[in-house]
């Protein structure tokens, strides 16, 4: 029973963090998943754990791996600039994200040579 409680808490923490990163809230979650607002709230507060098929559907909607929702993640604290960079990066499509990553790698390599 204790493991199940821990799993619900981990899921809830990850879900809240990812929803915030993506600019969604519990209303968006309930609407997309076709569940009541109380069910969405229960998921976000660790009171309930969604069925496996719903976890995968959530991961698909949020464009993350299922493990990003279900496994404990150690997220480092970020400063305001890091958060702004991340939010802006997440708004880009995958092709533009790839280009930005390549450019950042080039700048980092140049910086290391200085």
pLDDT at 70: 94
Residues 38 and 59 in one domain: yes
Q: Tens digits of per-residue pLDDT, 9-66?
A: 999 999 999 999 999 999 999 999 999 999 999 999 999 999 999 999 999 999 999 9
Residues 43 and 92 in one domain: no
Q: Which residues contact 58 (CB under 8 A, 6 or more apart)?
A: 15, 29, 33, 50, 69
Residues 6 and 48 in one domain: yes
Does residue 2 register a pLDDT over 60? no
Does residue 5 register a pLDDT over 60? no
Residues 65 and 85 in one domain: no
**Domains contained in the chain, number:** 2
Residue span of the structural domain in which 29 resides: 2-70
What gap in Å lies between CA 20 and CA 5, rounded to an integer? 23
Residues 108 and 58 in one domain: no
Residues 66 and 90 in one domain: no
Residues 64 and 15 in one domain: yes
Q: Does residue 30 lie within any of the structural domains?
A: yes
How would residue 1 be classed by pLDDT, with cut points 50, 70 and 90? very low
Structure tokens at 16: 């809240």
Q: Tens digits of per-residue pLDDT, 57-88?
A: 999 999 999 999 999 876 555 677 788 888 89
Place of tokens 């305001």: 80
């Amino acid at each position: 029973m204790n493991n199940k409680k821990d799993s619900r808490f981990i899921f809830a923490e990850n879900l809240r963090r990812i929803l915030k990163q993506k600019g969604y809230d519990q209303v968006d979650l309930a609407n997309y998943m076709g569940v009541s607002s109380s069910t969405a709230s229960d998921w976000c507060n660790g009171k309930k754990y969604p069925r496996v098929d719903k976890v995968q559907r959530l991961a698909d909607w949020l464009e993350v791996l299922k493990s990003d929702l279900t496994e404990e993640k150690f997220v480092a604290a970020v400063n305001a600039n890091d958060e702004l960079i991340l939010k802006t990066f997440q708004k880009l499509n995958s092709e533009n994200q790839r280009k930005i990553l390549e450019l950042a790698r080039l700048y980092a390599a140049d910086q290391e040579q200085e």
